[in-house]
Structure 1
Amino acid sequence: YFGTMIATVFSKAFPVGAAWHFTGQLLVVPAMTASLVAIVNVPMAAILFVVEVFGASYMVPALIVLVVTAIFTHQTSIYRTQRERYRRRQILPGYSVRRVVVPHKWHNKTLVQLQIRNHFGLNVIGWVEKEADDGLPHVRLSADANRPLNARDILVVIGKDEDLNEFEEEVAKKEAEVS
């Protein structure tokens, strides 16, 4: 909705005869991609989507609508809001996704070494590195099982609720051993 609203404003702001005239129809496609930016905050992917699917003629309108949308929705990515509000989320009855902080005892260990799937029947579907190579927090949606973990990173784990409870208890024990 937000992207379409911005597209409508631009189609009315530049009347016929202006140097740049955009019809409502021409801005519908960029409006859809602007919605992607507003929700997921991935402007490069949105632009590439427009050009690959609809053609280069949509590039300029897409850029204009995307820039305006990005300005209005700055700092409101769904990844950020979900990360701040939900530590656990039930996806089906008895199955959940949880964020679990890596204990200090697991620092520099890999997922292969920890064998979380074998010991707990859980799958690590990603993790939030507290400090990536560039010094900023980074969400890894495809967890590299051979990459060393850092203490205080956050694992995103999916599985049965009882297995997740057991896993969280084990993590709490590991953290208590260090204290």
Structure 2
Amino acid sequence: MLANVRVDEWLEEQNLAQVITGHTLTKLIGNILQWSVVLLFMAQGAELMRYEILRNALHSLVYFIYVILAAVTISITGLVIGRYVRNIVETSVEKIGHFIGVGLELFIIYIAIVMALELIPGINTTILKYAFVIGFGSIALAFALAIGISFGLAFKDEAQQMIKEINPIRKKRKKKSKR
């Protein structure tokens, strides 16, 4: 079905196929689904033969494979979307497009990997979430400071003029309050 949709060709056209090195997306998903179907049939056979331990183990393995498949799908989707955004930014922004594109790509990939790791049982992603919050907050603070400093420098003369106008008013108020 994925071959009919031409997912692999679209990835090649968008210069995104290099993200999934050495394998096509169709073959990767096909192999995982093939083995999960085989394991499901083995689990059903074990159930018919009343091998409860084997059936439970195979069902757990199939569940784990589907969880891993979902995590891999989220990761690959994040990689593809990240590269797609990078390509768009690099072609639209001339001077610093590469820098912004790589930054956005890494940002999207990080979010996708954290989301994928969250699905897998037994993996705690709390520290990754906190690292993201700290990093994003630091970047936001740096941009806010840069914008504040640039506005301060841009309007330096106007600010000096406003202070000169405010000082005589303050001096008059101080004289009135002393009386």
TM-score under structure 1 normalisation? 0.23
- When you count helix as a share of all residues, which structure comes out higher? 2
Which structure would you say has the larger Rg?
2
- Return the TM-score normalized by structure 2: 0.23
Larger RCO: Structure 1 or Structure 2 (Cα < 8 Å, ≥ 6 residues apart)?
Answer: 1
